[in-house]
Structure 1
Amino acid sequence: MTPPPLREAARAVVLDTDQRVLLLRYDENGGFWATPGGSLEPGEDYPAAVRRELAEELGATDVALGAQLAERSQHHPVAGHQVRQVEKYFLVRAEAAALAADRATQTDNIRAIRWWTLAELRETGETVYPLGLADLIADVLRDGAPEQPAVLG
């Protein structure tokens, strides 16, 4: 059996000054919330992809990219095709005002944008990716960015 193709993706854990995290809602695969981001383009590195995705999805053109917080690798469907996705998550501190959905150029089927408190994230019954995001954010808020990126399941 041929292994699925590799899809590299860069994602942002966007926190505001109220320590809320920004998540995007998608309807595919039963509906879920996820951090902003997407696949790398040819020749692009992960930090450049995060910046491009934030501009495309949220109209954010001047973001301060922080440390890599985590990495996740898993098999899942993308546009109906199975892939092995490797995601790297980077910390981004941003004000809600710095994000302007009306400047977004590629909304990629985003159905909603919402800022979540850590308590809301822990209490929700909705599907949120990546799994373990609430614990990752709690660790960052308590200890700062990790020396080595966490490995998420």
Structure 2
Amino acid sequence: MTTSTPPLREAARAIVLDAENRVLLLRYDENGGFWATPGGSLEDGEDHATATLRELREELGIDGNTVELGAQLAERSKDHLVGGRQVRQVEKYFLTRVAAADVAPDRATQPDNIREQRWWTLSELSATTETVYPLGLAGLLADVLTNGAPARPVVLTG
């Protein structure tokens, strides 16, 4: 029996923090419902930083000029369905700082089935029983807020 590797789908995701170090997560209804960081796949010719800024504009109506795009904090590889097609998605997560007031969903051009957005404190994120992607986000954030960005991106699983 032969198995084939699904096609690669590169993605850029933002770990969005405000001045109070709350993280912005988006809720989706698929697969039983879950919360996730903003982001999506790269378009032709884009690098990860450019894709991150575009996704913030498309999903949250954030003007790229108001964003402080920081270091790549993490990377995750996951096989899953996208549009009914199996892919191997490789996501790079970038620290992103914005003012909470700069998030303007009414200006979003591609809200991508987002059902809700919410700012979470680290303690709320650590205590939730809801599904949050990427798995391990609370631990990653706790480490970043205590020690700063890692020297090399952390590899996340799940």
TM-score of the pair, normalised by structure 1: 0.98
- Name 1:18's counterpart in structure 2: 20
CA distance in 2, matches of 1:44, 1:29: 29
Q: How many residues align?
A: 153
The alignment-based identity, stated in percent, is: 71
**Residues 60-91 of structure 1: per-residue CA shift (max 9 Å, x gap):** 11211100000001111112221101000000
Report deviation, 1:2: 2.2
Which structure 1 residue ranges, 4+ long, deviate > 6 Å from structure 2?
none
Partner of 2:124: 120
- Equivalent residue, structure 2, for 1:74: 78
CA distance in 2, matches of 1:103, 1:24: 16
Secondary structure of the corresponding residue to residue 107 of structure 1: coil
1:146 positional shift: 0.9
Structure 2 regions of 5+ residues with no counterpart?
none
Deviations 1:95-115 (A, max 9, x none): 110111111000000000000
Q: Return the offset for 1:43.
A: 0.8
Letter in 2 for 1:100: A
Of 97, 114, 125, the residue aligned with 2:101 is 97
> TM-score, normalized by length of structure 2?
0.95
State the AA in 1 paired with 2:121: T
**Distance in 2 between residues matched to 1:9 and 1:29, nearest whole Å:** 20
Find the residue that maps to 1:146 and give its secondary structure.
Answer: coil
The one-letter amino acid of 1:57's match is E
- 2:8 corresponds in structure 1 to 6
Once residues 58 and 35 of structure 1 are traced to their aligned partners in structure 2, the CA distance between those partners, rounded to angstroms, is 11
State the match for 2:57 in structure 1. Answer: 55
SS of residue matched to 1:131: coil
Q: Which runs of 5 or more structure 1 residues have no equivalent in the other structure?
A: none
Q: Which one of 92, 96, 110 corresponds to residue 114 of structure 2?
A: 110
